[in-house]
Chain A
Amino acid sequence: MLAMNYRGPFRVRADRNKPYPEILHPGDAIVQVTRSCICGSDLHLYHGLVPDTRVGMTFGHEFTGIVVETGSAVQKLKVGDHVLVPFNIACGMCPFCKQELYGNCHESNPEATAVGGIFGYSHTAGGYDGGQAEYVRVPYADVSPTVIPQGMDLDDAVLLTDVVPTGYQAAEMGGIKKGDTVVVFGAGPIGIMAARCSWLFGAARVIVIDQLDYRLEFAKNYAKCEVYNFRSIGDPVLFLKKQTDYFGADVCIDAVGCEAAGSAMNTLTGRKTLLQAGSTTALFWAINSVKKGGIVSIVGVYGPTWNFVPIGNVVNKGITIRANQASVKRLLPRLIDHVMSGRLNPKEIITHRIPLEEVSDAYHIFSAKRDNCIKPILIPSSAKAA
């Protein structure tokens, strides 16, 4: 079958000889992919920053598809169901799943205890192939995969697998109160969605910071927020203090993670030489721009161990930090309602529709920020009819 195939940093190709996936566990299903996205966090893999990303893997943790085969224990899903598949692989039985921490499942990733299983996200996240392929193995198919509601656009559905829930949870973890000023670092798909969702919690002012004008322009229009390019405002921390009566924002959201620009030191040690697990510039700004007693919410992806984080300011300012991979299954009922009622229009952020066959170009366009790309989706030609 056709699938994306990782060959090393900055090198991927569309491989026609990838073996068709098999049922390996009674809870598995095989899904024929109808949509898959490239995510900003796939770029960390693509750039070679996530440890244990092995050659031959297929990426893709955001996808929808049609169930074509089910394991003996699968009861809720049946062949022919068109499902959206949350990026977290969750067993539904371990103590963490029982507490709705589906992003922290204890039975889906043998390689690490600090992160749960994720489709197509290196062996550090369980060594599963992802959905940038014609077919994909979906473990624990009865737990998270959700039948796409009647009348929902597939483009909306595929964004409910990660982008919308992660953006929403970023805002939720911020504990936003009516009247709050929220600052979002990063105008990628997640940052844009976090900004949009901040209004749902009653924010009175939403500010987005990034370095690319085209992304800021998009964020301003889609999320109806204020935007600033940190290349033109001087010190972003000082700028944000002035914007908030020298108090600081009520809530800061880090939607950037380990590839943040803006600090030469962090770029050198975190991105170029990997002496720390990625650059922490966005988190640094978030901690220093939030008010005393404020809340910093982190959904940007960071690698394990070692980072330069201003922890002293966290202590002295009494900051609450909340962070997690989104618990997609927990949030889906609410978010499906928001999409069906028109309060959220996720598909508007899709800027590129690229055949799976051209996956190398798709990765390059997204990674190099060519052609004003915000969010690319891949469509296997075998799924065009669906």
Chain B
Amino acid sequence: MENVANVDVQKRTDETYKDIPGWGIDADPENEPTYPMKHYTGDDHQRLHYERPPLQPVDVEVLHSNERPNVTAAFGTVSPPSGLSGMLRRYAFQHSEGSSLHWLPLIMADRINAIEGIVDDLAHGHIPNVFAERGWNAEWKYNRKGLITKIAVTTLVATTVIALLSTKKKKKKRFSF
């Protein structure tokens, strides 16, 4: 976009921005940013002595940050830790939120978890349709040329790699005789 396209807007904002619906309606001269957003009540000095909401029963494994003493009153129970990724996640939660030993194992666990997901699909007799899951039906619709190029390049790289590997194997065989 050439910046010429802005000339109209520039003129309007300089002279007649007040015609924009609601212009200046929320202007607050007191909003000089120190910390006005907080509705100060002093409650954060209550520390642990505030009235807590009722507690959700903990009947699945919930990992909690070691920067707090307990599990929160409510929590999600969607995908409890399991398998190898679960072991890594448990390890991660032994370290505080500021530590790389917390975040890096979690990222690694996520990658392992994606593979576990495929294994789990297969174990349940479901072959994941990766083409559809990646939204390539839409890519086919809106970027057919790009998708074809991508698939062609991937196929070319894959066949080259396979060809190279198989020549290596043949050579090995020859040497072993």
Binding site for B on A (CB under 8 A): 7-13, 24-28, 48, 51-58, 73, 89, 91-96, 98-101, 106-114, 117, 123-124, 126-129, 139-140, 172-178, 199-206, 213, 216-217, 220, 224-229, 232-233, 274, 277, 295, 303-306, 320, 322, 324, 327, 330, 334, 338, 341-344, 360-365, 367-368, 370-371
Contacting pair A91 B73 (CB below 8 A): yes
Contacting pair B75 A110 (CB below 8 A): yes
Q: For chain B, give the interface size range.
A: 35 or more
Contacting pair B22 A304 (CB below 8 A): no
Alpha-carbon distance A385/B99, docked complex (angstroms) = 49
Binding site for A on B (CB under 8 A): 1-3, 5-6, 9-10, 12-14, 17, 20-29, 31-34, 37-41, 43-47, 50-54, 56-57, 62-65, 67-68, 70-79, 85, 89, 92-93, 97-100, 103, 106-107, 109-111, 113-118, 120-121, 128-130, 132-139, 142-143
Known: A117-B74, A232-B1. A57 touches B79 (CB 8 A): yes
Alpha-carbon distance A53/B3, docked complex (angstroms) = 41
Contacting pair A370 B1 (CB below 8 A): no
Nearest residue (CB) in A for B21 is A343
Contacting pair A51 B106 (CB below 8 A): yes
Main secondary structure of the interface of A (DSSP, over half): loop
Contacting pair B21 A342 (CB below 8 A): yes
Contacting pair B53 A140 (CB below 8 A): yes
Alpha-carbon distance A174/B33, docked complex (angstroms) = 8
Nearest residue (CB) in B for A96 is B44
22 example contacts (A-B, Cβ-Cβ < 8 A) are as follows: A48-B110, A54-B85, A58-B78, A91-B53, A91-B73, A94-B50, A108-B73, A111-B63, A111-B75, A127-B75, A127-B77, A127-B78, A128-B76, A175-B32, A199-B20, A200-B24, A305-B97, A305-B98, A344-B21, A368-B135, A370-B139, A370-B143
- Which of chain B's residues have a CB closer than 8 A to the CB of A213? 1
Q: Identify A368's interface contact among B113, B114, B143, CB under 8 A.
A: B143
Nearest residue (CB) in A for B70 is A110
Q: Which 5 residue pairs across A and B have the least CB separation, nearest first?
A: A364-B135, A8-B114, A127-B76, A343-B22, A128-B76
Contacting pair A7 B68 (CB below 8 A): no
Contacting pair B133 A127 (CB below 8 A): no
- Within the complex, the shortest CB–CB distance from A335 to chain B, in Å, comes to 10
Q: Identify B1's interface contact among A11, A217, A365, CB under 8 A.
A: A217
Alpha-carbon distance A228/B52, docked complex (angstroms) = 49
Contacting pair A108 B78 (CB below 8 A): no
Contacting pair B117 A304 (CB below 8 A): no
- Which of chain A's residues have a CB closer than 8 A to the CB of B71? 110
